[in-house]
Chain A
Amino acid sequence: MSGTIKLGSIFAGSLGAVAILWFTLALPWPTTSLGNRYQLWSISLVVSLTLLCFTFELSWRNMLRLLGVLVLLGSILGRLAIIQFLEGDKTPLDKSNIFAILSEQGSLGIITLGAALLILTGGIDLSVGSVVGLAAVTFGTLMEMGCPPLAALAIVLLLGVAIGFTNGLLVTQLKLQSFLVTLCGMFMFRGFARAINTSNTGLQQAKSNHPEFAESLDSMRALLVGKAANGAVEFPATLVVMMLLAAIVAVILHKSAYGRYWFAIGYNDQAARYAGIGVERQRLSVFVICSTLAAFAGILLLLWGGSANPSNAGNSYELYAITAAVLGGVSLKGGECIAAGLILGALVQPIIFNWMSFDQIPDSAQLWVMGLALLSGTIADELIRRFRRRAKG
């Protein structure tokens, strides 16, 4: 029973689910006009979901990897629904709360995509959180110094490319372990963030220094994170940005030669080398993708939160990203990854935090719950490998 099920039925089912979501949240329908940017985002969401559905192979093997996270998400959603219907004054399924969760999922999902690709090819990036922080601080500081928002965005993305390139070169050319290189990077990039700005940086500061940026900055904020100037979430735009990126990753991963190279490298890099794959070049490109996505997430972090502290912006994000990737079906040993799973994995952490707030679970419990989630993921990962090996042998 390892064959694929008809793609058409998956697509129809997914569209049905999207339609229900649309009705529930009363989102703007994509068919009316293109005047509203959120309608454009709605179309993008549908296109991304379609691409994700078409690249997803509904085999027993994939289902096994994703069923667990689905059960986890389903049980938390169920609990939120119980709260919604039994405790009248609490409204976790309110549109604005769902938007908040989906937006958190979006920004976490973007770094998860990069982290997952790196884990897939047998590497790891512990500097992701610091890169997110450095990017957020650089983005804010550049604007405070008079760099227009769009130019600042481009510079920060280039910074991400440069960081990924450096990490990648150190790993592929000097043959250093990615764990160590990125561990050093974690300290260095945090240090750079603190050296760039000793104080908090933020959108209000940039606007008060340069009132001429206010309009473009507000539009950028509305477009990329869906927030109005007063901070109200109008649309989970971050989710759409993440979905678009996930769809691109899905096509590369599951439908292109590059994807096959990456799976091969992660599964057995020596064999991949003998097969004529440019292992080092492929690994370098994945490092660049990972850091660039982290830098982009840093930009979104500043736009979403409005402010970034050089000392702690993006702290521990690398761990959240790795957790999300593992829960989404990535094997820490490399060679296994499902693009659609990453989206689900990235939803776990935001929804757990949200649920804990509604159930008034003490703040001190939050970290052990995340830790337990990662642990159960890795234990299950190991057990399923042994189970399969035994079944084969």
Chain B
Amino acid sequence: MRVLALMAFAGLLATLPACTKKSGSGKVKVAIVTNCTADFWLHAEAGAKKAAAENDVELDFRQPKTQTVIDQMEIVEALLKQGIKGLAVSVINPEEQTPDLTRIAGQVNLVTMDNDADKTGRLCYVGVDNYLAGKEAGRAVKRALPKGGTIALFIGTTTSANSKDRVAGVLDELAGSDNRAEIRKGNFQEKYGVYTLYRKAPITDETEEAKARTNAESALEQLKNTPDVAMVGLYAYNPKAILTAVRGKNLVGKVKIVGFDEDFDTLDGIDKGEIEATVVQDPYQYGYVSVTCLAYVAKGGDKTKIPQKEIKHRLVTKEGTMIKGVDVEILKASVFSTTTRESLAAVK
């Protein structure tokens, strides 16, 4: 019986390939490997698919099941045996992955995206500067609490390069000084300018949304007698988790929320006036620009003349109007939400 059951399973496996996409179309193949599985990457996939269709290339878009170098590199190494002509990677640990990615850049055209590894010989980096984006979130906090107060930072992890830069950006903006080196090492102070950092460190949740919500609820409970509180959610699901907790304790409007990334719940929260603002990257462009660049080089384009497009972070507010001191594009939440939904739907 055991054999029969396993044979049935094997049979099932054998039939699976019939359901999957067949390659061998003769098109140039490029691949994108993200750093984890997240809604954020759906936008990048949408952009990548659009660029693939425009440039007539075949795209393999892969998301590792966990945000670990091992899982990511397992996918990358397998892709290298599949005849790809270009690869875009969201680097998880730039320093440690540099030797591997340098070797890979010698085999295929390599683009780093979302998180850079600049010593690998990659063609280009497609992504925002997370430190500057963090500073933008810091400015939003300053506008919400101009006289100072207590801020609580929520983030999935503080181990990746982009998370460290985001945290450093927020705190440096609040302090009005450059403490990047110390913050990157994980050394935090209690006071940053006129702002007190809750628990003297960012609160992490291991990228678990449920834990992010519990963290926010627990912080709200402990800060219930503290005036002027702002909560900053630095991973895509964090603002949503904070908002759920704030709603649960009837503190909407009293606790200021500043977010990161374009989760639809975050955008709706901004539109309703529950969240001050969110800083968005441009994952759609990450996918679009990466594939365009790889397709261009794979088809014999000049590597020194890669179509460059600087990707800047943007700010989303309720009104979407000009704000003094903000020199990036400002988007209106309701409009941005609609256009983002449309661009996703167009690709699906």
Interface residues of A (CB under 8 A from B): 64-65, 67-69, 71-72, 74-76, 78-79, 86-92, 94, 96-97, 100, 104, 198-200, 202-205, 208, 229-232, 301, 304-313, 315-316, 352-355, 357-361, 363-364, 366-367, 369, 372-373, 376-377, 379-381, 383-384, 387
- B20 partner residues in chain A, CB cutoff 8 A: 359-361
Instruction: For residue B16, give the distance in angstroms from its CB to the closest CB of chain A.
Output: 7
Q: CB-CB < 8 A to A359: which residues of B? A: 16-17, 20
Tell me whether B97 and A198 are in contact (CB under 8 A). Answer: no
A-B contact pairs, 11 of them (CB 8 A): A89-B24, A89-B82, A91-B82, A97-B77, A100-B74, A198-B186, A231-B103, A307-B95, A312-B67, A355-B13, A380-B1
| Other A-B pairs, 6, CB within 8 Å; known A310-B159, A372-B9 | A76-B13, A79-B17, A89-B23, A307-B97, A355-B13, A361-B20
Residue from the set A76, A355, A357, A384 with the largest chain B CB neighbour count within 10 Å: A357
Query: Pick the contact of B81 from A94, A200, A232 — CB < 8 Å?
Result: A94
B23 and A360 contact, CB distance less than 8 A? yes
Q: Is A383's CB under 8 angstroms from B99's CB?
A: no
Q: Specify the chain B residue showing the minimal Cβ separation from A307.
A: B96
- Contact present for A71 and B3 (CB under 8 Å): yes
Is the beta-carbon distance between A383 and B6 smaller than 8 angstroms? no
Please pick, from B5, B17, B79, the residue contacting A68 in the complex, using a CB distance under 8 A.
B5
Assess whether B345 is interfacial by the CB under 8 Å rule.
Answer: no
**Residue B346 CB within 8 A of the other chain:** no
Which residue in chain A gives the minimum CB-CB distance to B201?
Answer: A198
A354 touches B65 (CB 8 A): no
Q: Measured between C-beta atoms, what is the minimum distance from A1 to chain B in Å?
A: 16
CA distance A89 to B81 in the complex (A): 8
Tell me whether B325 is interfacial, beta carbon within 8 Å.
no
- B96→A373 contact, CB < 8 A: no
Using CB atoms, name the residue of chain A closest to B102. Answer: A230
Give chain A residues whose Cβ lies under 8 Å from the Cβ of B2: 64-65, 68, 377, 380-381, 383-384
B75 and A357 within 8 A (CB): yes
Q: Provide the residues of chain A in CB contact with B77, threshold 8 Å.
A: 96-97, 100
**Residues of B contacting A204 with CB < 8 Å?**
95-96, 98-99
Do B9 and A373 touch across chains, with their CB atoms under 8 A apart? yes
Neighbour of A97 across the interface among B75, B81, B103, CB < 8 A: B81
**How far in angstroms is the closest Cβ of chain A from B164?**
8
Q: Is residue B78 contacting chain A, with contact meaning CB distance below 8 A?
A: yes
> For residues 58 through 80 of chain B, which have their beta carbon under 8 Å from a beta carbon of chain A?
60, 62-70, 73-75, 77-79
Give the distance to chain B from A234, nearest Cβ to Cβ, in Å. 12
Residues of chain A within 8 A (CB-CB) of B10 are 71-72, 74-76
> Beyond A199-B159, A359-B17, is A67–B3 a contact (Cβ under 8 Å)?
yes
Residues of A within 8 A of B4 (CB): 380
Tell me the nearest residue of chain B to A369, going by C-beta. Answer: B13
A320 to chain B, nearest CB (A): 12
Most A CB contacts (10 A, CB to CB) among B4, B17, B29, B62 go to: B17
Select which of A75, A232, A363 is within 8 A of B14 by beta carbon.
A75
When distances are taken between beta carbons in the complex, the residues of chain A under 8 Å from B158 are 198-199
3 smallest CB-CB distances across A and B, nearest first, come from A89-B83, A68-B6, A380-B2
Q: Which of B8, B64, B93, B157 contacts A363 (CB 8 A)?
A: B64
CB neighbours (8 Å) of B23 from chain A are: 87, 89-90, 360
In the complex, are the beta carbons of B65 and A205 less than 8 A apart? Answer: no
Closest to B156 in A: A311
- A72 in contact with B13 (CB, 8 Å): yes
Q: State how many angstroms separate the Cβ of B185 from the closest Cβ of chain A.
A: 8
Contact yes or no, B93 A231, CB < 8 A: no
| Residue in B1, B70, B93, B159 whose beta carbon sits within 8 Å of that of A311 in the complex | B159
Binary interface encoding of chain B residues 1-42 relative to chain A, with 1 for a CB under 8 A from any of its CBs, else 0:
111111111111110110011011000010000000100000
Complex Cα spacing A94 to B69, Å: 23
Report the separation of the CA atoms of residues A79 and B18 in the bound assembly, to the nearest whole angstrom. 11
Q: Which residues of A contact B5 (CB under 8 A)?
A: 68, 376-377, 379-380, 383
- How many angstroms between the C-alpha atoms of A353 and B14 in the bound complex? 14
B100 on interface, CB distance cutoff 8 Å: yes
Q: Are A377 and B6 in contact (CB under 8 A)?
A: yes
Do B70 and A230 touch across chains, with their CB atoms under 8 A apart?
Answer: no
User: How far does the alpha carbon of A360 sit from the alpha carbon of B65 in the complex, in Å?
Assistant: 15
Q: Which residues of B contact A96 (CB under 8 A)?
A: 77, 81
Nearest CB of chain B from residue A359's CB, rounded to whole Å: 5
Cα of A104 to Cα of B68 in the assembled complex, Å: 15
- Is A305 touching B70 in the complex (CB atoms < 8 A)? yes
- Please indicate the chain A residues that have their CB under 8 angstroms from the CB of B310 in the complex: none
Cβ of A360 and Cβ of B60 under 8 Å apart? yes
Residues of chain A contacted by B79 (CB below 8 angstroms): 357
| Chain B residues in 8 Å Cβ range of A384 | 1-2
Q: Which residues of B contact A86 (CB under 8 A)?
A: 24
Contact in complex: A229, B83 (CB < 8 Å): no
On whether A200 and B66 interact (CB within 8 A), knowing A65-B2, A72-B9, A359-B16, the answer reads: no
List the A residue with the shortest CB-CB distance to B76. A357
Q: Does B56 contact A (CB under 8 A)?
A: no
Known: A305-B73, A307-B93. A68 touches B99 (CB 8 A): no
| B170 shortest CB reach to chain A, Å | 18
Q: How far is the CB of B109 from chain A (nearest CB, A)?
A: 16
Question: Across the interface, which residues of B come within 8 angstroms of A380, CB to CB?
Answer: 1-6
Asked whether B69 lies within 8 Å of A307 as measured between CB atoms, the reply is yes
| CB within 8 Å for A304 and B70 given contacts A68-B2, A363-B63, A376-B8 | yes
Question: In the bound complex, do residue A71 and residue B6 qualify as a contact, i.e. CB atoms below 8 Å apart?
Answer: yes
Nearest chain A residue, comparing its CB with the CB of B98? A204
Chain B residue, CB-CB nearest to A99: B77
CB pair A91 B81 closer than 8 Å: yes
Complex interface: chain B residues within 8 A of A372 (CB): 9, 12
- Please name the residue on chain B nearest to A98 by beta carbon: B81
Interface contact A363-B13, CB-CB below 8 Å = no
Give which listed residue, A309, A357, A387, contacts B1 with CB less than 8 A.
A387
Q: A67-B3, A363-B37 are in contact. Are A230 and B99 (CB under 8 A)?
A: yes
Q: How far is the CB of B78 from chain A (nearest CB, A)?
A: 4
Chain A residues closer than 8 Å to B73, beta-carbon distance = 231, 305
CA A217 to CA B79, docked complex, whole Å:
28
Q: Are A205 and B81 touching (Cβ within 8 A)?
A: no
Q: Contact partner of B99 among A90, A100, A199, A231, CB < 8 A? A: A231
Q: Chain A nearest CB: distance from B332 CB in Å?
A: 33
**What distance in Å separates the Cβ of B203 from its nearest Cβ neighbour in chain A?**
13
Known contacts A92-B81, A199-B186; decide if A231 and B6 are in contact (CB<8 Å): no
B65, B70, B98 interface centre (most CB from chain A within 10 Å) = B70
Query: Quick one: closest B residue to A362, CB to CB?
Result: B20
A87, B159: Cβ atoms under 8 Å? no
- Nearest-Cβ distance from residue B168 to partner chain A, whole angstroms: 13
